Structure 1
């Protein structure tokens, strides 16, 4: 991905929105409506070149395995590709799919057994950025005003949800994220995702673009 830096030092108050850039806007609208997550993100038409791994994933944290299966099945029925079938793991239960527009989604719960039916409710939307240098990028975002909630050396950083707004944001080593998702690490071109902040526009060290509060609202799903 293209590396970039910001010339501004104004702080980001929180991550307010996530916009996916898609080649076919109407098809993406249909998919995300059927998937059941259209209320949690924005969509924008884009022809920006992008190949391979885009360096991020969106995650749905839900209440139990039945809800994982509900979202997983809805995504596959709507045209998603299965990257990792839903299954039990050391951390709970979950699986990974790739939307027709190329965005990778991880659907998971910390519960290994069902205690209730499929609620089709999202407990948390997580934006996980795959970065080359976790520690350096952590310091970059601290400088923009975000507060660290969890940090595991140079492997993983999670920002405080109170300042990350409606979407939880975390950093993970790019190579480790690709391995976790079951995809090759190589990728080039646009990330095809734009982050909406509450301050000024900037681009982070790994090329992830933020739009400021005064930026025009993107076409919604």
Structure 2
């Protein structure tokens, strides 16, 4: 991925929307509707090319293993590929799927046993971007006004979400993220991801972070989870 930065001063920034760039817009709309996450992301047509790992994943946190299985099954039935079958782990239960457009989704719960039947409720959505240097990228974002909610040394950092955003932004080491998703770390070309901010639209302009992820001021509001 191309690394670029914009060092000019910008107004305080917060993540307000996530836009996935896809090559087949109608097919992507059908998939995300059937998967049950269409209220969390926007979609945009693109002809941009990429290979391998795009450097991010969207992670769903749900209530229990049965709900994890329900979302994984919905994704697979809609055309997704399983990258990591749902299974118990040290931290709970989860699996990883890849949408037909190439976006990787992780569905997980901290619960190892169900306390009730499967639901279609999502407790939290986190956009995890893989970075080369967590501390440097964290400093870049705090310099633009993002507030750190949690941080674990140079391994992980999580930011307070925007007031209307249904998605939380977090940073993870790129190699560690790829390993967790069970895919090779290499990748080239577009991330196929736009991070949107509506904070102070008159003053905030497009910029690119140290790992090549693009931000832009968006006119549309963030989706509202049902």
TM-score (norm 2): 0.92
Counting only pairs closer than 5 Å after superposition, residues 1-221 of structure 1 correspond to structure 2 as 1-161=1-161, 165-199=165-199, 200=204, 201-214=206-219
- Once superposed, what is the RMSD of the aligned Cα atoms? 1.7
Q: Structure 1: 5+ residue runs without aligned partners?
A: none
The normalised TM-score by structure 1 is 0.94
Q: 1:198 deviation in Å? A: 2.3
Per-residue Cα deviation, 1:31-76 (whole angstroms, up to 9, x for no partner): 1111011111100110111110000000111111111111000001
Given that 2:16 and 2:163 are in contact with CA atoms closer than 8 Å, whether structure 1 keeps it comes out as no
What is the SS of the residue equivalent to 2:71? helix
CA distance in 2, matches of 1:70, 1:51: 29
Change (3 A) 1:39 1:177: same
CA distance in 2, matches of 1:132, 1:98: 23
For the Cα contact (< 8 Å) 1:130–1:171, is it kept in 2?
A: yes
**Residue 14 of structure 1 contacts residue 164 of structure 1 at CA under 8 Å; is this kept in 2?**
no
State the SS of the aligned residue for 2:33: helix
Q: Which segments of 5 or more consecutive residues in structure 2 lack a partner in the other structure?
A: none
Write out the 4+ residue segments of structure 1 that deviate beyond 4 Å after TM superposition. none
